Amino acid sequence: MRQPFWVVYLAAAVLLLIAFWVVALATESYAFATVCYAWSMVGLLAAFLQSHASHPVLRATGSLLWLGGLLGIIPTIGSNWQAAVMAGATGDLAWLMMVAIVAVVVVYLVGRWWGEFYAAISFIVVPVLSIFGLSIPMVASLEIIFALISAMVVGIFLVSAESLLLRWQKGQLGDVTSRLLLSYCWRLAVTGSATVLTIGLLLVPPATLLQAPLSQQLFRLPVLPFARFNYSAVEFPDLFTMPGGPISLPDIELFRVRGTTYPRWRVRTYVHYVGSGWRVSNEVEDPQLPNLKVRDDTVEMVWQPTSKPASPPIEAVVSSGLSRPVFLSPGEAVKLRLSALARGIVLRTKSGCLLPISPMRVSAYSVTAIPIPETLPPKGSASLTPEERRVFSYFPPYLYRVRELALQVVRGIDKPYDKAKALEAFLRTQYRYSDSPPYAVGRNIDVVTFFLFDAKEGACDWFASALALMCRAVGIPARVVTGFYSDEVDDDGTLVIRANDAHAWVEAFIDGHGWVTLDATPSDDGRGFALWEFLQRWLARRYRASFANPNIIWWFVATLWLLGMVPTMWQLGRRTWERYKPRPKWQVIAHCYLTAVQIGRKAGLNLQLNATPWENAEVCAQTPRFPVLGKRAFRELADLTVAVLYAGEEPDRMTVKRAKRLLKTFRQQVRLYKHWFTVPKVKQLSLKALKQLWEKL
C-alpha cells in the first residue's frame, strides 16, 4: 500500500466524528449518531481497501464490505429515523437526520471515484456543511462553535491533502511523505481557517454573535407565543418564542374543574433554550404508555409515579365545551379516566404532563395527579440521571451578563433552595408585570437579556425564562412549564379556567428533595414611581457597560493563528539567522561578490558562477550599454574578492563596508540597465501552448 494515503482517510474519519457529534447534540439521540458513524467507518475502510490495497484478497474484502454496508445501512438507519419521526421529531430534526443518512451514503459512493478527479473523499465536506447549517439554529452553544472551527480546519486539511496526493499519484509532484503532507497541509488548513474566521468576524462583530445566538443571527426565529388561541382553544406548541407586544388571549371560558380548587394546571414542559425561545425535549421527556384498564364504558390509564410522592394526590373532573381540548394535570399525572368513545391513547411525559398521540374528542375526563410542591419537600432520595442533569443545567455561554447578575443575587447564600427563592424574590420585586411588554422582535439582542437589562417589565413567559436561566446559571437544574393558573371559583365550588389564564412558571430540582414550583411573575399592580424606574434603567446601562466582553470566538481564532504561524516563524527565524548571522570578514566579501553575479545574471549579463572574478569583470566591462559606474563597481568588487581569496589578505572593517557599498552601487546600476535597455520577455501564447497548459492543470 502507498503509505501517505492513510492521512486522508484519518482526516475524513475525524471530520465525520465531529459532524455526527453535532448531530447527537442537536437530535439528543446518541444511538442514532453512533450508528451513523459506525456505518460511515465501514464505508471508509471499504473505500481504502478497494483503492489502495495491493493484494487481491484485500481488494475483494473491500468490495464485500462496500456492498454489505450499502445494503445494511438503509434499513438500519432508516428504521432509527422513522422511529424518531413517530416519536414526535420536529421538521428540522427530521431534516437533520435525513442529511446525516445522506452523509453516510456519500461516504460509500465517493470512495469509488478515487483517482478520477482531484477530489473523492473530500466530497463528504458537502453534507457536513449541511449538518452544521441545520444544527446551528437548534443548538447555539460554545460546543457548536468549537465543532464548527474544528470541522473547518479538518475539512481544509482533507481537501488540500487529497488534492496533493492525487497530483503526486499522477506524477506531477516529487516524493511525498507523510511528514511532508502533514506539515504542509496542516499549516494551510490552520492559516486558511484563521483567515476565513478573521474576515468573517471583522464583517460580523463577535459581540453581535455573543449577545444573540447564532440561531437568531442566521435564521430568525418565527413569532410563536407560548399560548395561542385558535378555534375556541388554547394551543401550546412544541417550540415557542417570546416576541413581546400585547398578549392577545380572550376572556373565554375553556374548562370547568370539579373536586378541587387547586389553581395551577400543567400542559407542557420545556427544556431547551434555543435563543429567545424554548422547545420540548423528546429524549428527556420520554413519553410513557399507560397501563390500560377497561371498565364498562370507561377506560382507565394508570402510570407509576417517577419518585416518592411528597404531597397527597389531587383528583378532579375536568369538563370542556371544546371539541378537541388539551389535557390538563394539576401535577404529575398518575391516573386518567376517559369515556370509551374517546378512541385514543394518552401518553405521560417523564415530567408528568399528558400528551395524546392524536387529537381526541373528549368533553370530560377525570385526572389524578401528584402536585409539584411550592415549598421545599422533606429530604429523600430524589436524583437526576447524568444526562438529565446535563440537559436541565445547560446554560448558554453568550448570556454572560445574565450569569453575572444571578451570581450577584445569590452571593453569600449556600443552599440551592435558598438560592432559587432569592432569585424568585429578586425578579418579583425588581421587575414589573405587563401584559403589553415592548416588542423584542427585530432587536439584535437576546430576549432574556433585553428583559433583565433594558425593558425591566414583561409577561409571565419572560419572567419564567429569566428565572429558569438564572437558576441554571447558579447550578440549579430547572425547566419552564406552561399551562393555566386560575383562582376563579363559582358559588358551587367549581374552578373556572379561561383562555387568558394561560401562564408560564418554573420548576427547579433540589437534590435530595425533588422538583419544586417557582413563580417569579408579580401581580399586575403599579410599583414604584417614574424617577425610581429611571434610576433603575440608568443603573442597568452602567451595569452592562462595566462587564468586559469575553470574545471567546476571537480566542479560538488567535489559537488557530498561533498554531499556523509558529512553525512558519520558526523556519523564517532559522533562515534569517543563517543569512545574517556573524561571519568572518572574508566570507562577507565573497558573499557580496556572489550576490552581484546573481543579480547580473538575472539582468541578462553573461556572468558565470564557475568563472574567476576577473573573467566575470571582463565580461561585464564588454557588455554594451551597461552603465560605466556599474562596470567600475563590479571591477573593484572583483579585485577585493581576488585579494581576499587568492592573495590571502586579511580584510578590515573598512574593506567590508566598501564591499557592501560597491554591491549597493552595482544593484542600482543593474536596475537602471534593466529599465532602459533590457527588453521584457513576453511569451506569446499560441493555441498549442494553451492546450499544453490546460493539460498540465
Which range of 58-67, 501-510, 570-579 scores highest in mean pLDDT? It is 501-510
**What pLDDT score does 689 carry?**
64
SS3 label, residue 663: helix
Q: Which residues, 6+ apart, have CB-to-CB distance to 201 below 8 Å?
A: 553, 554, 557
Instruction: Label residue 485 by pLDDT band (50, 70, 90).
Output: very high
Is there a contact between 281 and 271 (Cβ–Cβ < 8 Å)? Answer: yes
pLDDT of residue 35: 83
User: H or E segment at 498?
Assistant: strand 495-498
**65-83: average pLDDT:** 68
Highest mean pLDDT, choosing among 40-54, 262-276, 464-478, 672-686: 464-478
3-state SS, residue 16 = helix
| pLDDT beyond 60 at 114 | no
More confident residue, 250 or 421: 421
The residue written with cell numbers 511525498 in the block is: 176
What are the strands, taking DSSP E only, across 196-252? 228-229, 234-235, 239-241
Does residue 209 have a pLDDT over 50? no
pLDDT at residue 504 in the model: 93
Q: Hey, is 38 helix, strand or coil?
A: helix
Q: Name the nearest CA neighbour of 471 among 521, 520, 541, 524.
A: 520
Cell numbers found for residue 26: 442537536
Q: Which residue has the higher pLDDT, 45 or 70?
A: 45
Provide the sign of the torsion angle of the four alpha carbons 15, 16, 19, 22, taken in this order: negative
C-alpha torsion sign, points 563, 564, 569, 570 = positive
Sheet order of strands, 478-485 included: 264-270, 478-485, 502-510, 514-518
Distance of CA 395 to the CA centre of its chain: 14
Is residue 476 very low, low, confident or very high in pLDDT (cuts 50, 70, 90)? very high
- How far does Cα 383 stand from its chain's mean position? 30
Best-predicted range by mean pLDDT (71-75, 79-83, 178-182): 71-75
What does the CA dihedral 74, 78, 79, 80 come to, rounded to 10 degrees? 120
Please give the average per-residue pLDDT across 494-500, as a whole number: 90
Asked whether the predicted pLDDT for residue 83 surpasses 60, the reply is: no
pLDDT at 112: 60
Residue closest to 418 by CA, chosen among 475, 480, 457, 482: 475
Tell whether the model's pLDDT for residue 182 goes beyond 50. Answer: yes
- Average pLDDT of the residues in 683-688: 54
Report yes or no: 247 and 459 within 8 Å, Cβ to Cβ.
yes
For the chain, percent of residues with pLDDT exceeding 70: 78
Q: Where are the beta strands (DSSP E) in 127-252?
A: 228-229, 234-235, 239-241
- Residue 496's pLDDT band, with cuts at 50, 70 and 90, is very high
CA–CA–CA angle 232, 235, 238 (5° rounding):
165
**pLDDT of amino acid 533:** 45
The whole-number pLDDT of residue 127 equals 84
Q: Is the pLDDT of residue 214 over 50?
A: no
The helix, strand and coil proportions of the chain, stated in percent and rounded to the nearest 5, come to 55, 15, 35
Question: Which band of pLDDT confidence, cut at 50, 70 and 90, is reported for residue 99?
Answer: confident
What angle (nearest 5°) sits at the alpha carbon of residue 479, between those of residues 476 and 484? 135
Backbone φ and ψ of 226, nearest 5°: -70, -20
Strands (E), 79-208: none
pLDDT at 554: 64
The number of angstroms, rounded, from the C-alpha of 602 to the middle of its chain's C-alpha atoms is: 53
Higher-pLDDT residue of 195, 509 = 509
Q: Is the dihedral of CA 629, 635, 638, 643 positive or negative?
A: negative
> Which has the minimum average pLDDT: 110-119, 316-325, 407-416, 463-472?
110-119
**478/427 Cα distance (integer angstroms):** 16
**How far is 638 from 657, CA to CA, in rounded Å?**
15
How much is the pLDDT for 138? Answer: 63
CA distance 209 to 204: 8
Cβ atoms 97, 32 nearer than 8 A: yes
* Reported confidence tier of residue 281, pLDDT bands at 50, 70, 90: confident
Residue 460 near residue 521 (C-beta atoms within 8 A) = yes
pLDDT at 137 over 80: no
pLDDT of residue 665: 93
Mean pLDDT confidence for 383-390: 87
Instruction: For residue 192, name the pLDDT band (cuts at 50, 70, 90).
Output: confident
Q: Of 342, 349, 344, whose CA–CA distance to 266 is shortest?
A: 349
Q: Kindly list the distances between the CA atom of residue 287 and the CA atoms of 88, 280, 308, 352, 684, in Å, as whole numbers in the listed order.
A: 10, 12, 19, 9, 76
Under DSSP, the state recorded for 512 is B
pLDDT band at 426 (very low <50, low <70, confident <90, very high): very high
What is the rounded distance in angstroms from the CA atom of residue 295 to the CA atom of residue 311?
28
Cβ-based neighbours of 689, under 8 Å, separated by 6 or more: 683
CA 126 to CA 103: how far, in whole Å?
8
d(CA 219, CA 159): 28
Cell numbers given for 69: 454496508
Among 72-81, 190-199, 259-268, 298-307, the least confident range = 72-81
Asked if residues 356 and 338 have their Cβ atoms less than 8 Å apart, the reply is no
Q: Please give the biggest Cα pair distance in the chain.
A: 126
Residue-averaged pLDDT of the chain? 78
> Which residues have CB under 8 Å from 284's CB, separation 6+?
28, 271, 350, 387, 388, 391, 392
Confidence category of residue 530, pLDDT binned at 50, 70, 90 = very low
Banded pLDDT at 443 (limits 50, 70, 90): low
| C-beta neighbour count of 72 within 10 angstroms | 12
Q: What is the mean pLDDT of residues 187-192?
A: 79
Question: What is the rounded CA–CA span in Å between residue 517 and residue 551?
Answer: 36
Q: In terms of DSSP bridges, do strands 272-273 and 488-489 run parallel, antiparallel, or are they unpaired?
A: unpaired
Closest of 131, 109, 111, 112 to residue 121, by C-alpha: 111
Confidence class for position 515, pLDDT limits 50, 70, 90: very high
Q: What is the pLDDT of residue 2?
A: 46
19 CB-near residues (< 8 Å, 6+ apart): 100, 103, 127, 128, 131, 132, 151
Is residue 534 over pLDDT 60?
no
CA gap 333, 313 in Å, rounded:
9
Give residue 77's pLDDT band: very low, low, confident or very high (50, 70, 90): low
Residue 546 above 50 pLDDT?
A: no
